[in-house]
């Protein structure tokens, strides 16, 4: 049986923020990935655990630092820890009004996700970055999924069967939920006011994907294909090609300030490779 190791950090996000936790990039770590027709996982050498400062353009936020293969766990950070944002590219923190981010940054609320491809059943092992045992009270959503789960040596193991349509599911931990309370003007965090919503403090989403058929993968040297190089790029760099092929790596749209420029698909297109 093939097994996959995945990571999540729960419960101590606020502690990490207070301590200014920034771990070295992945080049200083050891990751074991697998590339085959049974299972395919990947990693980023520029991945870093960063709970204190804005991420550099070429960095990828990772949720953490035997028989299991590593699968990169991406992390979404509110505002990339920049100030309030009025429009894309704002990062000076001078916008005075509400930008839709309330208490998430201060409370360490984030979302993480990992993806892998497989054609056989796999065991997904989830552990906490702080080394504590994973709570045994969990919810897998959608709840209609009937995955077998086990708690082994403080970790959660989820058995995911192979499926031609893949599986997309989230894992919630009862001891890592955040209650939103409202006083009408904001969301106080002192325990006062009524609870108006409950969300995971550290949401984890897993995409267990089936391998793409060969005819869905464009040729690298096709006449209509533009092959991109990892790093910064602009709309002009795509050359107007109908097929833009992004090789493995980290990409960002070059603009000053960063985040100002975007790329949109033409109207009839709803997806890309």
pLDDT in tens, 113-139: 999 999 988 889 888 877 888 888 999
Q: Is the dihedral of CA 250, 256, 260, 264 positive or negative?
A: negative
Only one residue has tokens 């045994």, namely 136
- Between 18 and 162, residue with greater pLDDT: 162
Task: Answer with the one of 155, 174, 209 that is the final residue of a domain.
Answer: 209
Mean pLDDT of the chain: 77
197/237 same-domain check: no
Say what the pLDDT of residue 63 is. Answer: 46
Q: Give the residue from 165, 190, 209 where a domain finishes.
A: 209
Global confidence as pTM:
0.70
Q: How many domains does the chain have?
A: 2
* Domain end (from 189, 209, 229): 209
* pLDDT value, residue 194: 92
pLDDT digits (tens, 9 = 90+) for 68-116: 778 888 888 777 777 777 776 666 667 777 777 778 888 888 889 999 9
pLDDT digits (tens, 9 = 90+) for 160-218: 999 999 999 999 988 889 999 998 888 888 888 999 999 998 889 999 999 999 888 88
Contact 6, 114 (CB under 8 A): yes
Note the residue count of the chain: 273
Residues 202 and 228 in one domain: no
Does the pLDDT at position 151 exceed 50?
yes
16 and 69 in a common domain: yes
CA 27, CA 46: separation in Å to the nearest integer?
7
The pLDDT, as a whole number, for residue 27 is: 42
| % of the chain residues with pLDDT over 70 | 70
Report which of 7, 73, 72, 70 is spatially closest to residue 34, judged by C-alpha positions: 70
Residues 144, 272, single domain; the answer is: no
For residue 167, the model assigns a pLDDT of 96
What is the SS3 assignment for the chain? CEEEEEEECCCCHHHHHHHCCECCCHHHCCCCCCECCCEECCCCCCEECECCCCCCCCCEEECCCCCEEECCEEEECHHHHCCCCCCCCCCCCCCCCCCCCCCHHHHCCEEEEEEEEECCCEEEEEEECCCCCCCCCEEEECCCCCCEEEEECCEEEEEECCCCCCEEEEEEEHHHEEEEEECCCCCCCCCCCEEEEEEECEEEEEEEECCCCHHHCCCCCCCCEEEECCEEECHHHHCCCCEEEECCCCEEECCCCCCCCCCCCCCCCCCCC
Q: Which range marks the domain in which residue 22 is found?
A: 2-209
- CATH number (domain holding residue 43): 2.60.350.10
In the numeric block, the tokens 């060969």 are attached to 214
Strand 251-253 relative to strand 194-200, pairing: unpaired
Same domain, 141 and 234: no
Choose the most confident range, by mean pLDDT, from 31-45, 63-77, 195-209, 251-265. 195-209
């Amino acid at each position: 049986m093939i097994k996959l190791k995945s990571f999540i950090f729960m419960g101590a996000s606020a502690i990490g923020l207070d301590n200014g936790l920034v771990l070295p990039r992945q080049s200083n770590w050891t990751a074991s990935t697998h590339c085959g027709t049974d299972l395919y996982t990947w990693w980023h050498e520029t991945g870093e655990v960063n709970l204190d400062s804005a991420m550099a353009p070429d960095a990828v936020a990772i949720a953490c630092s035997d028989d299991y293969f590593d699968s990169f766990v991406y992390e979404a950070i509110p505002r990339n820890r920049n100030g309030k944002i009025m429009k894309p590219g704002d990062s000076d923190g001078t916008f005075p009004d509400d930008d839709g981010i309330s208490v998430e940054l201060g409370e360490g609320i984030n979302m993480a996700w990992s993806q892998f491809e497989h054609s056989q059943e796999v065991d997904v092992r989830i552990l906490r970055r702080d080394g504590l045992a994973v709570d045994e009270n969990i919810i897998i959503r959608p709840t209609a999924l009937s995955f077998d789960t086990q708690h082994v040596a403080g970790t959660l193991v989820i058995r995911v069967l192979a499926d031609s349509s893949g599986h997309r599911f989230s894992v919630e931990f009862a001891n890592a939920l955040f209650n939103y309370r409202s006083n009408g003007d904001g969301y106080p965090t002192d325990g006062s006011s009524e609870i108006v919503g409950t969300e995971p403090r550290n949401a984890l989403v897993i995409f267990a994907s089936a391998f793409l058929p060969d005819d869905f993968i464009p040729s690298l040297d096709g006449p209509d294909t533009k092959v991109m190089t990892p790093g910064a790029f602009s709309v002009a760099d795509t050359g107007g090609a109908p097929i833009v092929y992004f090789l493995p790596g980290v990409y960002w749209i070059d603009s000053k300030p960063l985040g100002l420029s975007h790329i949109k698909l033409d109207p009839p297109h709803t997806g890309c490779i």
